[in-house]
Amino acid sequence: MTPWAAVVFNPAKAPPAIADLERLVIAETEKVGWGPPRIWETTPDDPGEGQAREALAAGAALVVAAGGDGTTRAVAGVLAGTDVPLGLLPMGTGNLLARNLGIALNDGAAAVDVILNGRTQRIDLCRARLTAPDGSVREEPSVVMLGMGFDAEVIGDTDDRLKHRIGWGAYVAAGLRRLVGGRRHPIRLWLDDGPPRLVRVRSVMVATAGTLTGGVTLLPEARLDDGLADVVTVTPKSVAGWVRIIWWAVLGARGSNPLIQQHQARRVRIDARWPMPAQMDGDAVGEAIRMDVTVEPAALVVRTPADAPD
């Protein structure tokens, strides 16, 4: 049977328009002898999960997430646990997974070449159970970094129109507005079967990769395929503390920093004394009072550049 690729496309991230996207993918799939691709568009009510399930049921040999981090996360959550690879056609502002895999961000033809001619790699995926202030619980996947606190505040405060105009600089603008006047949140943090740690944080993050929007590397030792989550607590008390953290990150996050503590674990639980904003791979997901995170090692097959390092 001739293989074919499914494309889960977020039209809100155009350009390119869907007709241009279809021409690009058709031209490249014909070169490698694949059948015509099939395209599913996301909707405000379904950011990609339903479309990815339909593509799997229809027999897609590969599923492409064509959009931003939200589209990638939605499709990845469905493909995890299967042998069907995820291809990335990054069209968003952050494009966190594509950045960490070394996939071209502004070259559609190069990204499609990786999808069809690159190599396959298995990476980890996190599943997070978020408990909202009203007690409701929902599960969300993450392929790069999730967290509670300042990072989520910034994401929620970033103007979408400004993102379209200046890209990741919109996050910087939102972050600068939030540096002054914020408070540290008391949390209890469990790592695997260890005892709870009592910490006052501005942010707590759980990551499988370390490169953020703008190419800043917060966790240079984090690996997408080591079966572990890197857990980071950020504890500045003032703007001066944030300056130390920013300078440390700009220099490549090398060496110790007393305002940042790093740990590794397969299971993480965060209990907050009061509701905190939460984010998943750069998407604001509302407030939470508890987050339970489990790493699924090597759960997701992705297509990466042929010359990417192991």
- Say if residue 173's pLDDT is above 80: no
Phi-psi region of 106 (alpha: psi -120 to 50; beta: other; left: phi over 0): alpha
Q: Report DSSP state, residue 254.
A: -
pTM of the shown model: 0.88
Across the chain, mean pLDDT equals 86
- DSSP characters over 61-95: SEEEEEESHHHHHHHHHHHTTSSPPEEEEE-SS--
Cα angle value 118/212/200 (rounded, 5°): 140
Select from 238, 257, 237 the least CA-distant residue to 247. 257
For residues 164-191, give the mean pLDDT: 65
Task: Give per-residue pLDDT as tens, 32-61.
Answer: 899 999 999 999 999 999 999 999 999 999
For residues 179-197, give the mean pLDDT: 88
Q: Report DSSP state, residue 215.
A: G
Task: Give per-residue pLDDT as tens, 198-241.
Answer: 999 988 999 999 877 666 677 778 899 999 999 999 887 877 77
Q: Is the peptide bond before 16 cis (omega within 30 degrees of 0)?
A: yes
The whole-angstrom separation of Cα 287 and Cα 19 is: 38
Domains and CATH numbers, the chain: 5-117 (3.40.50.10330), 125-298 (2.60.200.40)
Q: Quick one: pLDDT band at residue 158, thresholds 50, 70, 90?
A: low
Query: In the chain, pLDDT over 90 holds for what percent of residues?
Result: 60
Q: Could you tell me if 255 and 238 are in contact, meaning their C-beta atoms sit under 8 angstroms apart?
A: no
Where is pLDDT greater, at 253 or 132? 132
For residues 258-267, give the mean pLDDT: 90
